């Protein structure tokens, strides 16, 4: 049996129950949406038996306001019904067997020809006392990209987790794509190299696979010995703590990053949180084109105009 959608396309039986139970609207009229491959009707009792089976084997997951779910449709086909009585139902029919998650299934080829894993471990807000263990566990589970930053304040611990995995023979350093980011207070050319080397030392690696400008905003310099990572405000102890801008041309910062590539400290360079206008400006003079634009994207921030 297949499901026939409003656009005329047909999908096979793994989606039938989900479609029948969850997509009863103007496009999908319950049993009319479920047909045999030749267009013939399926006995409603057959589908309802399957629905009863799903109901008897249902798994209940707590659902709170603001929650959202990510479903891998190569494993579970799903549909949903509107909220009724404060409950939202999500129906899913499993594909045959289960699928092992391979974080490196879709590598991305960068402008340099380097391959970057399509899935990685984002390390923002991982507490310092947990970061080493989390990084190590991620590498054990198959992750091969660790995405860090100076401002996360946990690069030394992440490096310890990476080092442990290398020492245990789980990975070689060359198999792990390590990313770090230049913080806002180090945008002047005389500070870029020192900031990169500080992050390299914390990670305990000789080079970064990717080094990014974290934000297209430049702030007044804060020496390492004063505070590291420096954070957003220039002096947290001031009566009225505030950010203090230091207008550094993006070109100055980018050319300093290009010098890091020339020196072999980083393999690829890129930017974060940057819009189209600034990207066009950057591309007009970049000797080494940015390999990556990293932005936040999720159901609450889809970035439709940018992406």
Catalytic: which of 152, 186, 211, 221?
152
How far is the C-alpha of 161 from the C-alpha of 123, rounded, in Å? 12
Predicted local confidence at residue 105, as pLDDT: 60
195-207 burial, b for 16+ CB within 10 Å, e for fewer? bbebbbebbebeb
Q: In terms of C-beta distances under 8 Å and separation of at least 24 residues, what long-range contacts does 194-197 make, across chains too?
A: 194/224, 195/150, 196/260, 196/265, 196/266, 197/265
Per-residue pLDDT 10s for the chain (307 aa) are 444 555 555 544 445 555 555 544 455 555 565 666 566 777 777 777 766 776 676 666 666 666 666 665 555 555 555 555 555 556 555 544 444 545 556 889 998 899 999 999 999 999 999 999 999 999 999 999 999 999 999 999 999 999 999 999 999 999 999 999 999 999 999 999 999 999 999 999 999 999 999 999 999 999 999 999 999 999 999 999 999 999 999 999 999 999 999 999 999 999 999 999 999 999 999 999 999 999 998 888 988 888 8
Query: Residue 294, SS3?
Result: strand
- Name, in order, each residue with C-beta under 8 angstroms of 31's C-beta and a sequence gap of 6 or more: 20, 41, 42, 44, 47
| C-alpha distance from residue 262 to each of 93, 257, 258, 288 (Å) | 52, 9, 6, 10
Q: In terms of C-beta distances under 8 Å and separation of at least 24 residues, what long-range contacts does 112-117 make, across chains too?
A: 112/267, 112/268, 112/291, 114/209, 114/267, 114/268, 114/291, 116/145, 116/177, 116/209, 116/210, 116/268, 116/291, 116/292, 117/143, 117/144, 117/145, 117/177
**Whole-structure pTM value:** 0.69
- Name, in order, each residue with C-beta under 8 angstroms of 286's C-beta and a sequence gap of 6 or more: 254, 258
Q: Is 81 left (phi over 0), alpha (psi -120 to 50) or beta?
A: beta
Supply the DSSP symbol for 95.
Answer: P
Element (H, E) at 21: helix 16-22
Pair type for strands 10-12 and 2-4? antiparallel
Predicted local confidence at residue 139, as pLDDT: 96
Whether 77 is catalytic: no
Element (H, E) at 156: helix 155-167
Predicted local confidence at residue 271, as pLDDT: 98
Q: Nearest to residue 237, comparing CAs of 226, 246, 248?
A: 226
Predicted local confidence at residue 307, as pLDDT: 84
């Amino acid at each position: 049996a297949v499901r026939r959608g409003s656009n005329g396309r047909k999908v096979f039986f793994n989606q039938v129950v989900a479609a029948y139970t969850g997509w009863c609207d103007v496009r999908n009229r319950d049993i009319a949406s479920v047909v045999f491959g030749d267009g013939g009707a399926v006995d409603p009792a057959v589908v309802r038996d399957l629905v009863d089976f799903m109901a008897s084997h249902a798994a209940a997951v707590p659902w709170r306001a603001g929650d959202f779910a990510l479903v891998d449709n190569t494993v579970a086909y799903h549909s949903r019904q509107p909220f009724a009585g404060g409950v939202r139902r999500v129906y899913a029919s499993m594909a045959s067997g289960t699928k092992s998650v391979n974080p490196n299934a879709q590598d991305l080829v960068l402008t340099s020809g380097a391959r970057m894993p399509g899935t990685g471990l984002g390390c923002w807000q991982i507490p310092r006392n947990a970061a080493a263990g989390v990084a190590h566990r991620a590498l054990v589970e198959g992750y091969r990209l660790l995405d860090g930053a100076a401002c996360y304040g946990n690069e030394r611990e992440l490096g310890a987790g990476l080092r442990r995995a290398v020492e245990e023979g789980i990975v070689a350093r060359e198999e792990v794509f390590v990313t770090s980011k230049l913080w806002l207070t180090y945008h002047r050319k005389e500070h870029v190299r020192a900031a990169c080397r500080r992050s390299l030392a914390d990670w305990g690696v000789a080079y970064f696979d990717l080094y990014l400008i974290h934000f297209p905003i430049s702030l007044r310099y804060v020496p390492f010995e004063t505070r590291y990572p420096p954070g957003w405000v220039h002096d947290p102890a001031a009566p009225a703590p505030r950010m203090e801008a230091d207008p550094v041309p993006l070109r100055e910062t980018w050319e300093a990053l290009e010098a890091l590539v020339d020196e072999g400290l980083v393999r690829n360079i890129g930017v974060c949180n940057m819009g189209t206008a600034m990207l066009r400006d950057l591309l007009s003079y970049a000797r080494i084109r940015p390999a990556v634009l990293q932005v936040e994207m999720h159901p609450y921030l889809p970035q439709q105009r940018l992406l």
